[in-house]
Structure 1
Amino acid sequence: MTLSQGHEVTGFLKAVGQKLINGEGREILLRGVGFGSWMLPEGYMWMFPNGGDRPRRIELMVKELVGEEKAEQFWEIYYERYTSEEDIKQIAADGYNSVRVPINSRFLIVEGDAGAVQYHEQHLVLLDKVIGWCREHRLYVILDLHGAPGGQTGTNIDDSENDQPELFIDENNKQMTIDLWRMLAKRYKDEWIVAGYDLLNEPLPNWFSSYNNQIMPLYRDITKAIREVDDRHMIILEGAHWATDWSIFDDPFDNNLMLQFHKYWNNPDTESIQTYLDKREEWNVPIYMGEGGENNKEWYAGAFRLFEDHNISWNFWTWKKMGKDNSPCSVNIPSGWQLLIDYLEGGSKPDEATAERILWEYLHNISFVECIYHPEVTLSLFRRPKARIPAIFYGYKGAGVSYGIKEGKRNPIGFRNQDGVDIRFVEGSRETPSFEHGKGEAWKADEWMYVQLAAEDWVSYDFTVADTAEASLYFIDLCLFAPNGSAGLAVTIDGESIERIELVDSLWGTKRTHNPVKLAAGLHRIELSSIDNSIGIQWLEVIPA
């Protein structure tokens, strides 16, 4: 058997109708992670305040603290170490099939005198290296222009200099962007592991919407330049306002397109993505959730199943950052890091020796082997044992497939209103689901909402046993209560009856199935049915025996 046979990551990826098709003609969903803060350092991933919220401000701080020569050393070590082959190996081992590489144009374009644009060959070689590692370990690569010349958002996330979207203000910046993409397309035109070109990350938030009419013409100009040298790679287009506003999309202009949205702060339900599903039908192209995360693991278990059930490729943001447990990798905070934060907030400047010690400890800590690894994040994204699944995140495939209710819609609360399952708040809590990008831990669905099934109602939950796992035994834990003092719950897996659980009081409690079930690698389905009385379900977990 050749290397490609039996592997979904093989050959040029192409959009065919609403599907992504690999080089062997098989359908594939992208499931990946993004390399935030690598080629475009983001201050919130360094726990920095506004004074260090973007690359150019972080670079200035480093230079002020240790001088220009040591600052250059710092950044070259940083770029080599932040994402390495060890990271790529782990991502592939975890079962992801793709990565999204955010690029700052300043990382590739050599700044200097006006005239012909020069590219930083050493940094292009670094990009070659990560693409080569991904080819070896079978991860498709999406090249994402996260910070275009001049900035496409006018905010910190694109390294904007003057908080203005100068890409759309200065024609020279547009031409540099077009030329940059032509150069990249020419360099990688024969590289099959590159899945596609993500032309602009999150162009133009609403407060700069007066420039929105320039986005599609620029997309067309970039694509024309790419197609002059590369007719095989997919073109990926993002909507305006953090990629969420798709009203800018008029007509498809290429036969190999994918549309991208991002999802962080709002409810993981079908209503929240309906406009993207509608546009998929209208344009007959695949769609991609290219950034989502920065929340808690319970939210991940809901949101990423939403994408799976609607056949939407997805990418988790982000693989690595400092001091957090809601990304797979967490960089240990160097001792004395608060001195840098204080300096950025206007405090006293650390002496050079102290600053160098702190910064070089940071460089030590960013290597994958020095990071704290959080496998539970990946377990939640893929719904693998023993990820906790909040009961409100039953399947998204509709009535008769993901749920069944006897008496029609009940108790709408502004969440999953297209369904009819009775979702309620935990006693004494009336919070509204919300999330602010970058803050995290705001959407605590499992703590205050639950599903209440009337007699003969049922809900189902898909979960996955990893491909690398051997068939083994599993229990199911459930957090339940009986509002009327007693209730029965029937539990099935893959259509086979497992157990009937009896409740004899009205207090919340955890029940475990008595008989473990043997499960092989792959997708499985749990169905929970209320037998003879109302029953509340807060969460469930599949537990290795």
Structure 2
Amino acid sequence: MRSIVSSDFLKVQGTGLVNENGEVVVLKGTNLGGWLIQESWMCPVNGIDRQWANLDSIKALKSRGFSDEIILDLYNTYQDNWITETDFDELSEMGVNCIRIPFWYRNFMKDDMGTYWNEEDMDNNPGFKRLDWAIEKAGTRGMYVILDMHGCPGGQMMDHCCGTLGKNELYDSHKYRQIMEDLWVKIAERYKDSPVVAAYDIMNEPQNNRGYKGEKSWDPDSDEAISRTISVYDQMIKAIRRVDPKHVITIEAIWTMNNLPDPRDYGWTNIMYQMHLYDTDKAKLDEKIDELYSAMINYGVAGYVGEFNNGPNEEYAMQQYNKWGISWTTWAYKGAKQEQGNNWFLWIDKKEVADVTCNSFEEIKRKWGHQVQTISFHKNSTIAGLISRYTR
């Protein structure tokens, strides 16, 4: 594949994406999940699924006397190894033209108060160094990236996948919303001229609260949840547009497209609406795809399935996304703690788990070192075959 150049800059036109030459582009690829934000069920870290989040790991290390700098060193070791340049070669060879990159605010900040690493020098901020590197490696291989704020300050849901657990404090906190806005503005200022960046993904799965209890565990379909979510979207979109009028912005519905408004009512432009589909029933899949395509037609937005695993109907789902011109990225590229036959990931294995509550610095460093490089994982030929088939 050739490198992405300035004429490849994407925008929404009609119900899809086009580059500056007017050529239609449908994004097809995967998520680099577990790289910049760990989820205990898929990463080599202790903690029971849905009972342990990335922030719990940081707090456990700090409680043991590990300094911020030592904790950063451990995560740098992990991130250096979880995704390497070889992974970009692998994806390019499969025909992938887009990678969604989940990250969280703590990649850039050392605390919950919005204190950036290297405050005066964003070029040496660990979060921007990771994104800069990924954008460069993807772009030279003809692949776009979608920048996904998977974890927002204060948490945008009750679920662990945002890096916190049981908080969901973003919406009613001026402090957290301002920290989030400041980070998005910094991101937009840095990448506003990059054609490799396909879209800014404002926040992952807002109000993913079902199954949790607590004052802020609003039902995702309730007026309380929807109004708060749209309020944050509106704030972030307007802030980004002040510094970057060009990039596509994607916002997510959870779990129905009925939770997103007509963007024209808010003055939102160049918008791609997004769903995550984990339904395994074909009829349910058809219903959700129809919801998304109807929004594309009625609202003049592009459509995107940012995450999906559809079990026995994975191939059917890919066929339908391609049929209707819907962009897609599978969840996810690789997973540790996985048995053979697991079709959630392109690369799978069961790796030694680093227990941050008791393992030594040296032991965590070893477990997050070479063993988590993809070369030591097993390739899932089923998922690899589907991705190769439907990206071309």
TM-score (norm 1): 0.61
More RCO (CA 8 Å, sep 6+): 2
| Aligned counterpart for 1:165 among listed residues 163, 168, 172 | 168
| Structure-1 residue corresponding to 2:261 | 249
Q: Residue 44 of structure 1 contacts residue 53 of structure 1 at CA under 8 Å; is this kept in 2?
A: no
Answering whether residue 194 of structure 2 is matched by residue 191 of structure 1, we say: yes
Deviation at 1:226, TM superposition (A): 1.2
Deviation digits for residues 298-340 of structure 1, max 9, x if unmatched?
4311221121122211110110111244211124422xx4x94
Question: How many angstroms apart in 1 are the aligned matches of 2:364 and 2:153?
Answer: 31
Question: How many angstroms apart in 1 are the aligned matches of 2:152 and 2:142?
Answer: 28
Question: How many angstroms apart in 2 are the aligned matches of 1:116 and 1:361?
Answer: 27
| Structure-2 residue corresponding to 1:33 | 30
Question: How many angstroms apart in 2 are the aligned matches of 1:291 and 1:61?
Answer: 30
Q: Residue 288 of structure 1 contacts residue 312 of structure 1 at CA under 8 Å; is this kept in 2?
A: yes
**Overall identity of the aligned pairs, in %:** 25
User: How is 1:42-81 mapped onto 2 (pairs within 5 angstroms)?
Assistant: 42-46=39-43, 48-50=47-49, 53-61=52-60, 67-68=66-67, 71-81=71-81
Deviation at 1:89, TM superposition (A): 1.1
| Aligned counterpart for 1:179 among listed residues 171, 178, 182 | 182
Is the partner of 2:225 in helix, strand or coil?
helix
Question: How many angstroms apart in 2 are the aligned matches of 1:321 and 1:10?
Answer: 35
Deviation digits for residues 23-70 of structure 1, max 9, x if unmatched?
321111110110111111111103741486311123344566795475
Question: How many angstroms apart in 2 are the aligned matches of 1:51 and 1:290?
Answer: 21
| Structure-1 residue corresponding to 2:245 | 231
User: How is 1:57-456 mapped onto 2 (pairs within 5 angstroms)?
Assistant: 57-61=56-60, 67-68=66-67, 71-111=71-111, 118=119, 121-160=125-164, 163-205=166-208, 207-208=217-218, 209=222, 210-239=224-253, 241=254, 243-252=255-264, 253-268=267-282, 269-293=285-309, 296=311, 298-322=312-336, 323-324=338-339, 325-326=342-343, 327-334=345-352, 337=353, 340=355, 352=360, 356-357=362-363, 360-382=366-388, 384=389
Deviation at 1:255, TM superposition (A): 2.8
Question: How many angstroms apart in 1 are the aligned matches of 2:225 and 2:286?
Answer: 30
Please, what is the CA RMSD of the aligned residues? 3.0
Question: How many angstroms apart in 1 are the aligned matches of 2:251 and 2:260?
Answer: 10
Q: Residue 236 of structure 1 contacts residue 257 of structure 1 at CA under 8 Å; is this kept in 2?
A: yes
Deviation at 1:375, TM superposition (A): 3.3
Question: How many angstroms apart in 2 are the aligned matches of 1:141 and 1:114?
Answer: 25
Q: Residue 266 of structure 1 contacts residue 272 of structure 1 at CA under 8 Å; is this kept in 2?
A: no
Q: Give the partner amino acid of 1:248.
A: L
Q: Give the partner amino acid of 2:136.
A: G
TM-score (norm 2): 0.84
Question: How many angstroms apart in 2 are the aligned matches of 1:110 and 1:362?
Answer: 20
Q: Residue 54 of structure 1 contacts residue 156 of structure 1 at CA under 8 Å; is this kept in 2?
A: yes
Question: How many angstroms apart in 1 are the aligned matches of 2:350 and 2:306?
Answer: 27
Is the partner of 1:205 in helix, strand or coil?
coil
Q: Residue 236 of structure 1 contacts residue 258 of structure 1 at CA under 8 Å; is this kept in 2?
A: yes
Q: Give the partner amino acid of 2:37.
A: L
Q: Which is higher, the Rg of structure 1 or of structure 2?
A: 1
Name the structure with the higher strand share.
Answer: 1
Q: Residue 10 of structure 1 contacts residue 22 of structure 1 at CA under 8 Å; is this kept in 2?
A: yes
Deviation at 1:216, TM superposition (A): 2.0
Q: Give the partner amino acid of 1:187.
A: R
Deviation at 1:358, TM superposition (A): 6.2
Segments of 5+ residues of structure 2 without an aligned counterpart are: 210-216
Name the structure with the higher helix share.
Answer: 2
Q: Residue 18 of structure 1 contacts residue 285 of structure 1 at CA under 8 Å; is this kept in 2?
A: yes
| Structure-1 residue corresponding to 2:212 | none
Is the partner of 2:25 in helix, strand or coil?
coil
Q: 1:197 to 1:116 in 2, by over 3 A?
A: closer
Segments of 5+ residues of structure 1 without an aligned counterpart are: 385-463, 468-545
Q: Residue 263 of structure 2 contacts residue 269 of structure 2 at CA under 8 Å; is this kept in 1?
A: no
Deviation at 1:261, TM superposition (A): 0.3
Deviation at 1:105, TM superposition (A): 0.7
Deviation digits for residues 430-459 of structure 1, max 9, x if unmatched?
xxxxxxxxxxxxxxxxxxxxxxxxxxxxxx
Question: How many angstroms apart in 2 are the aligned matches of 1:144 and 1:216?
Answer: 17
Question: How many angstroms apart in 2 are the aligned matches of 1:378 and 1:198?
Answer: 25
